[in-house]
């Protein structure tokens, strides 16, 4: 099983969504607020983040802090 990381990609135009779908799994996007949540393999994080920053319609990319949250849900409740 591969570890996944989520990236939040802020864009200028929704045209970039087609390219985002090729780089990872787009789980959510909001056209009005102009951001998307993209899931990628943790091993390719730096490589894909550099590619995303180089795309024409991308403003910036940040790593989601949800994975680092101390509030994890366990099945052993």
Question: Domain segments of the chain: what residues?
Answer: 4-63
3-state secondary structure of 47: helix
Would you say the C-alpha torsion 49, 52, 5, 43 has a positive or negative sign?
negative
Residue 25 · residue 17 · CB < 8 Å: no
Question: What average pLDDT does the segment 21-26 reach?
Answer: 95
pLDDT confidence of residue 73: 63
Backbone angles phi, psi at 8, to 5 degrees: -105, 120
- The residue among 75 and 56 whose pLDDT is bigger is 56
CATH of domain 4-63: 3.30.70.80
Structure confidence by residue, pLDDT tens digits, 29-44: 999 999 999 999 999 9
User: What residues form DSSP beta bridges with 5?
Assistant: 40
**Banded model confidence at residue 65, pLDDT cuts 50, 70, 90:** confident
Distance from CA of residue 51 to its chain's centroid?
12
């Amino acid at each position: 099983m591969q570890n996944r990381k989520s990236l939040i990609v802020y864009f200028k135009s929704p045209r970039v969504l087609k390219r985002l779908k090729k780089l990872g799994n787009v789980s959510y996007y909001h056209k009005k607020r102009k951001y998307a949540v993209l899931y990628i393999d943790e091993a390719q994080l730096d490589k894909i983040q550099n590619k995303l920053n180089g795309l024409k319609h991308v403003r910036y990319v940040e790593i989601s802090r949800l994975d680092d949250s101390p509030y994890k849900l366990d099945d052993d409740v």
